[in-house]
């Protein structure tokens, strides 16, 4: 059992140098969804995601000796170069929660600059990109101060663990192309504590898959993911969900290895329906789909039937639609999106994205 708590990670206060660390980290899209958690942000079922490319966060962490004797974490946080109180409070709470792992965080001063490649108001869940970028910066900081994370595998595992504590799904963004989070017999070394990379198992057709994100609504969601996970505790269908998802995981991994796009698409869409079905079956029930979401889904089905092109959709915990398809069909699918689907998007906005190579230190 991994235990990262370490009271020895302390610096000698008058010997702290100043420095700067920068990471770019992408968002990810779950193919098998994490929905429902227990304990300290641990998943009730295994999930697998594609790591994305165009939707990312860039985070710069500046550190130096602490100039005040204020106890606890001392951090200044800027989002797109502007102070942002709700985000800053969240980051301070997160860093404070990490003190048993990184006690040195109360001995230094931090300034964090964060910016997204996509507009914050686009209704895109940015926490996966943001929390993974910050976790990577913290692991680099540990390595700079103590030289304790020179092994790449250990570095990624710890970054994934720390990212998970910030936002569950963020732990999967650490890895190139695909990642599994949550214990499953299907993947050796899989864990509830951190994600493991799975990109090397993908059939080549999936390694270059597209995921175009249609922004149906830019409004803040009525029910947050945090509240949604919580509602799974008393959902009468949650046990059935956790039982069926194991079988789906097995089928999804088989499809991803074999390049079986039809099986992939079948499970992908069932997962999207299940996620939103569980929301509708919660107490109280809620609905995050919008009329535009439903219209796009119907159009996608019709397009697939008529053109015999493997275009499939999935959904996050919101109304926006992710369209997944092989690179070889990009011209015809992108023309279809522009001609037939953008009318359902908020101000015609969409983010063309694809499977990506994971985070990058800048
Ligand atoms: O990481 P959270 O707490 O924002 O939850 C994300 C949940 C889904 O996006 C709906 C599914 C997933 O596995 O990413």
Atom of ligand 1 nearest to the CA of 33: 13
Lowest mean pLDDT among 106-120, 225-239, 289-303: 106-120
Predicted confidence at residue 68, as pLDDT, reads 85
Q: What gap in Å lies between CA 189 and CA 197, rounded to an integer?
A: 10
Is 318 near ligand 1, meaning CB less than 6 Å away?
Answer: no
Nearest CA to ligand 1 atom 6: 169
Which of the listed residues 33, 128, 167, 180 should we mutate to test ligand 1's pocket, taking the one with most ligand atoms within 8 A of CB? 33
DSSP H or E segment with residue 24: strand 19-32
> 200 falls in which pLDDT band (50, 70, 90)?
very high
User: Is 211's pLDDT higher than 70?
Assistant: yes
Is 59 near ligand 1, meaning CB less than 6 Å away?
Answer: no
Q: Compute the average pLDDT of residues 34-55.
A: 97
Q: Compute the average pLDDT of residues 346-360.
A: 96
Q: What is the mean pLDDT of the chain?
A: 95
Instruction: Walk across the sheet containing 321-325 and list its strands.
Output: 312-315, 321-325, 210-214, 350-354
Predicted confidence at residue 124, as pLDDT, reads 66
Domains delineated in the chain: 13-202 (3.30.230.10), 204-351 (3.30.70.890)
Atom of ligand 1 nearest to the CA of 32: 13
Which of the listed residues 32, 34, 315 should we mutate to test ligand 1's pocket, taking the one with most ligand atoms within 8 A of CB? 34
Cα 339 to averaged position of ligand 1 atoms, centre (Å): 30
Residue with tokens 């943001």: 130
Number of other residues whose CB lies within 10 A of the CB of residue 141: 20
3-state helix, strand, coil in the chain (%, to 5): 45, 25, 35
Backbone angles phi, psi at 323, to 5 degrees: -110, 120
Is 57 near ligand 1, meaning CB less than 6 Å away?
Answer: no
Spatial contact of 172 and 193, defined as CB atoms under 8 Å apart? no
DSSP letter at 16? P
Q: What percent of the chain has pLDDT over 70?
A: 98
Q: What percent of the chain has pLDDT over 90?
A: 89
Q: What gap in Å lies between CA 169 and CA 183, rounded to an integer?
A: 14
Is 127 near ligand 1, meaning CB less than 6 Å away?
Answer: yes
Look at the pTM and tell me if it is higher than 0.85. Answer: yes
Atom of ligand 1 nearest to the CA of 181: 13
Is 168 near ligand 1, meaning CB less than 6 Å away?
Answer: yes
> 123 falls in which pLDDT band (50, 70, 90)?
low
Q: What gap in Å lies between CA 163 and CA 193, rounded to an integer?
A: 10
Strand partners of residue 319: none
Predicted confidence at residue 125, as pLDDT, reads 61
Q: What gap in Å lies between CA 175 and CA 193, rounded to an integer?
A: 15
Is 159 near ligand 1, meaning CB less than 6 Å away?
Answer: no
User: Is 122's pLDDT higher than 60?
Assistant: no
Atom of ligand 1 nearest to the CA of 317: 10
Atom of ligand 1 nearest to the CA of 127: 4
Predicted confidence at residue 78, as pLDDT, reads 96
> 219 falls in which pLDDT band (50, 70, 90)?
confident
Is 317 near ligand 1, meaning CB less than 6 Å away?
Answer: yes
Q: What gap in Å lies between CA 307 and CA 292, rounded to an integer?
A: 22
User: Is 70's pLDDT higher than 90?
Assistant: no
Rounded to a whole number of angstroms, the CA Rg of the chain reads 21
Predicted confidence at residue 121, as pLDDT, reads 58
pLDDT tens digit sequence for 281-329: 999 999 999 999 999 999 999 999 999 999 999 999 999 999 999 999 9
DSSP H or E segment with residue 20: strand 19-32
Q: What gap in Å lies between CA 205 and CA 101, rounded to an integer?
A: 40
Is 27 near ligand 1, meaning CB less than 6 Å away?
Answer: no
């Amino acid at each position: 059992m991994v235990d990262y708590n370490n009271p020895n990670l302390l610096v000698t206060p008058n010997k702290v140098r100043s420095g700067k660390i920068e990471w770019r980290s992408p968002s990810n899209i779950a193919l098998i969804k994490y929905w429902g958690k227990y304990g300290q942000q641990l998943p009730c079922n295994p999930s697998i995601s594609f790591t994305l490319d165009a939707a990312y966060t860039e985070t710069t962490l500046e550190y130096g000796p602490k100039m005040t004797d204020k106890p606890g974490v001392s951090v200044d946080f800027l989002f797109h170069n502007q102070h942002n109180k709700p985000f800053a409070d969240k980051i301070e709470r997160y860093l404070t929660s990490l003190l048993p792992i990184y006690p040195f965080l109360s001995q230094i001063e931090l300034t964090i600059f964060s910016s997204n490649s996509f507009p914050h108001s686009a209704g895109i869940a940015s926490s996966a990109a943001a929390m993974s970028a910050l976790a990577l910066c913290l692991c680099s900081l540990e390595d700079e101060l103590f030289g304790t994370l020179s092994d790449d595998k250990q570095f990624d595992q710890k970054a994934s663990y720390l990212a998970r504590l910030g936002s569950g799904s963020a732990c999967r963004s650490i890895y190139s192309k695909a990642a599994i989070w949550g214990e499953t017999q299907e993947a050796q070394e899989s864990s509830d504590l951190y994600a493991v990379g799975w990109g090397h198992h993908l059939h080549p057709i999936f390694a270059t898959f597209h995921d175009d994100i249609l922004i149906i609504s830019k409004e803040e969601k009525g029910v947050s993911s945090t509240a949604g996970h919580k509602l799974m505790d008393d959902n009468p269908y949650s046990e059935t969900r956790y039982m069926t998802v194991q079988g789906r995981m097995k089928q999804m991994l088989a499809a991803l290895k074999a390049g079986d796009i039809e099986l992939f698409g079948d499970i992908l869409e069932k997962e999207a329906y299940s996620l939103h079905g569980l929301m509708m079956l919660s107490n109280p029930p809620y609905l995050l789909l919008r009329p535009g979401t439903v219209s796009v889904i119907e159009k996608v089905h019709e397009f697939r039937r008529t053109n015999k092109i493997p275009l499939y959709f999935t959904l996050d915990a919101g109304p926006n639609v992710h369209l997944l398809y092989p690179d070889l069909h990009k011209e015809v699918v992108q023309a279809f999106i522009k001609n037939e689907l953008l009318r359902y998007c908020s101000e015609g906005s969409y983010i063309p994205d694809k499977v990506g190579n994971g985070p990058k230190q800048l």
